[in-house]
Chain A
Amino acid sequence: MTRDDVQRWLDRYVEAWRTYDPAAIGDLFADDVSYAYQPYREPTRGRDAVVSEWLESQDDPDSWEARYEPYAVDGDRAVAVGESRYLEGGKLARLYYNVWLLRFDEEGRCAEFVEYWREHPKDSLPA
């Protein structure tokens, strides 16, 4: 994977999150993907299970903004960093810092996904 490949994958991830199109979500991941929402949690396994989980609890498309970019790309591994912002009444309500550990298969689908995230303290959110 090149840095551009990883950036395109990240942009498609954000787009799939916005549209909740099952085909677009599924296309991001390998058949046997392992997807962990926290490094210590048992991962969700398999593309169908990941798609189902995404569809289960949906964010309103106007309630968030997110941007992720590759920090390091090393063979089939990559690390992405970024921010996810949730808005309420047009104002920033929650801000998360994300780090994702990623492994891709030969087709450029993500086969392993481990997320680390931290929330910015609510009492000092940027304007």
Chain B
Amino acid sequence: MTRDDVQAWLDRYIAAWAAYDADAIGDLFADDAVYRYHPSDDGFVGRDAIVRAWLEPSGDASTRDEPDTWEAHYEPFALDGGRAVAVGWSRYYTDTSKSTVTDMWDNVYLLEFASDGRCRLFVESFVARPEGRRGKGSHLTGDFGAASDT
């Protein structure tokens, strides 16, 4: 995977999330992929389980993220063989006017890709930003800032 390949995958990830399209979600992941929302989770194993977890986050579709009430941006930070690490942020608003932020997370994704470019391991770690630190702009600094600024 090149940096561009990883960026394209991350962009497709966000598009699949926004669309809640089962095929688009499934196409991101290998048949036997493992997806953990947290390093200590057992996680979801297999493409079908991952797609179901996305489409029905709490067992049904009612807890999906409403369109246009969130924004996210992720970029590759490091590549090492089939592994990649992505960093970025996710920001949630009260409604589609996007005037009031309710939550913001800094995300880091530990990724492994199969030779066909599908993700076979996805481990997320996310840190909640406290109030007052949820604005736009860089949250990383120096050389890292360029990789994660808006």
Residues of A within 8 A of B (CB): 34, 36, 38-41, 43, 71-74, 77-79, 81, 95, 97, 99, 101, 103, 111-112, 114, 116-118, 120
Contact = CB atoms under 8 A, between A and B. Distances in A.
A72 B86 CA distance: 11
Contacts of B141: 34, 36, 43, 112, 114
A79 B79 CA distance: 10
Contacts of A78: 78
B93 to A, nearest CB: 18
Contacts of A120: 40
A99 B108 contact: yes
A95 B143 CA distance: 30
A78 B1 CA distance: 17
Contacts of A112: 141-144
B127 A74 contact: no
Contacts, number: 84
Q: Which 3 residue pairs across A and B have the least CB separation, nearest first?
A: A72-B80, A74-B78, A39-B106
Q: Which of A34, A74, A81, A120 has the most CB of B within 10 A?
A: A74
A103 B144 contact: yes
Interface residues of B, number: 26
Contacts of B24: none
B85 interface: yes
B98 interface: no
B122 to A, nearest CB: 13
B10 interface: no
B106 A99 contact: no
A81 B39 CA distance: 10
A80 to B, nearest CB: 10
A117 B144 contact: no
A38 B142 CA distance: 15
A71 B144 contact: no
B133 interface: yes
A72 B125 contact: no
B83 A71 contact: yes
Nearest to B130: A40
Contacts of B87: 39, 101
